[in-house]
Structure 1
Amino acid sequence: MNRLLRASIGLWSLLFAANMTASAQGLAAARSLAHQGKIDAAIAEAQKVTSATPQSADAQELLCKLHGSIDQFDEAIAACEAAHSAQPGNAAYTLELARAYGAKADHAGPFTGMRMVGRIRDNFEGAARQDPKNVDALSDLGEFYVNAPGVVGGGLDHARQLVSQLKPLSPARAARLEGMIAAKAGDTTAADAAYGRELAVQHSAEAYVDLANYDRKRKLWDQAEQNAVLAIQQDGARGPDSIDAARVLIDMKRNSAAAEKALRGYLAHEQVSAVAQYARAHVMLGQLLQQRGDNAGAEDQFKQALALAGDYSAARKALRK
């Protein structure tokens, strides 16, 4: 090998190493901003990484979560597709892709939603296949089977098969899935018992949120309110469960004081999730204040949301109103 060729290879190696170091630093900066709920700034940093290294699956997955947190469904899907294409065997990326498709389907019309069901199912099943011990993948797949019609691959028999798979990994998630199956089948007694088991094995805010949603579907408003409040009280970390419990109360137009406390608690605490939902919490709090007639307070909350995520359509629409 001549000297010129050796020098060229050495220079290329140095440039490659420098690029990888810069990408790692950029991804760390993007993650830090996402952790703080600074969506616009985090997206900008993550896009710098993907521009320099398009095959950075980690950066693409973060972009997927960032866009999804402010309901930018198409952008989230594109980023998740890129992450999945870079590492098609990664269960975490496959699961996020399924969730991104599911989020868009939930907000789309019935025809668009039905066209996407196959992709949602395939990716949920793919994630569970790639990592049979992934509790989130198994739980999400089970929920899909419960809610999707048989003609598109849903069905309670499929969901029941997952219960035994979940039990040794997470007895609480297995009990919740049993509760969903029983409720869908119209067996209220069995559903009550299953949700009771979930609470018994995992006395957590998440279990109380599950109970609150179950009660709300049955129009047991007092019980739903009680369990949502208990979820807020149980959530010492003031994390996503507080937001979910507040949503239950807001949707039922009950106990706005408890919902406000939950949202303010969430906003006041540092979050451990990959992407803090501060922008969403600000919008929810603003809508709550607006219902009370506190338009100035509501406007301030919507503006704080837009300061974090300028393209958040829910905040823009709320501010216009």
Structure 2
Amino acid sequence: MSTLNKAEAASLRVVLCLLLLFGTLRPARADIASADRALQQGRAAEAVNLLQPLIAAQPSDPAAHQLLCRVYYAEELADPAIHECEQAVAHVPASSNNQMWLGRAYGLKAEHAGPFTGLSLAKKVRVAFESSAQLDPSNIPASTALGEFYIAAPSLIGGGLDKAERIASQLQRYSPAAAHRLRAMIAEKRKDFSTAESEFRSAIAEGHRPDAMVDLGAFYQRQNQPDKAVITIQSALNADRAHDAALMDMASILTDAQRSPDLAEKVLRLYLASSAKSEDAPAFKVHVQLGHLLSQHGDQTGAHAEYEAALQLAPAYNPARKALQRP
């Protein structure tokens, strides 16, 4: 058998590179894009089925690991989410988004952990969020998450309103609305409710976005002012054109206020029929929320249909399975 000469070897390397580029990398990117579209539409099982073989074939693909982390996060599967986000960070530690999603995954597990484990996880949340915000100060969701952590967490694990104020000042450059929202949360934590309301209104004034109106409505609900909450949510719905994830929060506020159940149902159905669905409000969670609403008003058949619809999209979503098991 003859050996390749230098020219033939060079040609072979070119061919192999082209095969790698067009035969492997492009399908992998296509699979990731398809999985992301599935996640945005709430089709968690489809996203997992696309990503798992991709990761098996390319274990060092950080984008695939991060996306699978987000799918598991949406399904409230904390341990698998943490594993996948840790893999993403291990391969690309300098990614602000990788660090942010790792922090969120740790936070998901901390919500259901005991006091000692929760304390350890909360510190990991802080470290991940701080890394994310430092890596990219223009990453508004990362800075917002860090600011919210500082507001909610005790000083023992690195929280503090002074730290949150610094984050709000930094956010002002990139998103005045996000800065006002964070300042509103700081004021509310201090029980300075008039300033909190003013800051929430300032966030609305920056763009009259429905999600900013929802924040004000949620504030009124926390202040036991359900009439104001409902009026604000109605304004948010009137301003809504995209029918995006803000609708899920609108319905939650109406339900918590025990007002306008028909409107809450309408809002959830608008979202499920929308082309603007996203992982911010996974469709399978909205089906469960709608099922609970229908169940509260005696429509058990309709409720079960919604729970079944949720499981069709995300068989691993335990709240849907538990809801179906209720008498």
- Tell me if both proteins adopt one fold, taking TM over 0.5 as the criterion: yes
Question: Aligned partners of 1:110, 1:156: CA distance in 2, in Å?
Answer: 22
The aligned residue for residue 207 of structure 2 is 202
1:160 shift after superposition: 0.9
Report if the CA contact (8 A) 2:35-2:50 is conserved.
Answer: yes
Q: 1:274 to 1:221 in 2, by over 3 A?
A: closer
1:4 shift after superposition: 7.3
Q: From 110, 114, 118, give the equivalent of 1:105.
A: 110
The aligned residue for residue 320 of structure 1 is 325
**Deviations for 1:63-84, whole angstroms, at most 9, x for unmatched residues?**
1111111211111111111111
Question: Aligned partners of 1:190, 1:63: CA distance in 2, in Å?
Answer: 40
Question: Secondary structure of the residue that 1:120 maps to in structure 2?
Answer: helix
The aligned residue for residue 59 of structure 1 is 64
**Deviations for 1:234-260, whole angstroms, at most 9, x for unmatched residues?**
222111110112122223333211211
Question: Aligned partners of 1:111, 1:51: CA distance in 2, in Å?
Answer: 35
1:275 shift after superposition: 7.1
Task: Quote the RMSD (CA, aligned, Å).
Answer: 2.0
Report if the CA contact (8 A) 1:124-1:137 is conserved.
Answer: yes
Report if the CA contact (8 A) 1:287-1:298 is conserved.
Answer: yes
The aligned residue for residue 234 of structure 2 is 229
2:280 maps to 1:279: no
The aligned residue for residue 122 of structure 1 is 127
Q: 1:151 to 1:144 in 2, by over 3 A?
A: same
2:151 maps to 1:146: yes
1:107 shift after superposition: 3.4
Q: 1:167 to 1:307 in 2, by over 3 A?
A: same
1:168 shift after superposition: 2.0
Question: Aligned partners of 1:229, 1:319: CA distance in 2, in Å?
Answer: 31
Question: Secondary structure of the residue that 2:111 maps to in structure 1?
Answer: helix
2:260 maps to 1:289: no
Unaligned runs of 5+ in 1: none
The aligned residue for residue 186 of structure 1 is 191
TM-score normalised per structure 2: 0.91
Where in structure 2 are the equivalents of 1:84-95 lying within 5 Å? 84-95=89-100
Letter in 1 for 2:300: N
Where in structure 2 are the equivalents of 1:245-260 lying within 5 Å? 245-260=250-265
The aligned residue for residue 16 of structure 1 is 20
2:32 maps to 1:27: yes
2:101 maps to 1:96: yes
Letter in 2 for 1:317: K
Question: Secondary structure of the residue that 1:168 maps to in structure 2?
Answer: helix
Letter in 1 for 2:160: G
Question: Aligned partners of 1:23, 1:108: CA distance in 2, in Å?
Answer: 36
Question: Aligned partners of 1:245, 1:104: CA distance in 2, in Å?
Answer: 26
Q: Percent identity?
A: 37
Aligned pair count?
Answer: 320
Unaligned runs of 5+ in 2: none
2:171 maps to 1:166: yes
Question: Aligned partners of 1:223, 1:35: CA distance in 2, in Å?
Answer: 32
Q: 1:206 to 1:90 in 2, by over 3 A?
A: same
Runs of 4+ in 1 over 4 A off after TM superposition: 7-12
Q: 1:41 to 1:316 in 2, by over 3 A?
A: same
Q: Which moved more, 1:156-165 or 1:217-226?
A: 217-226
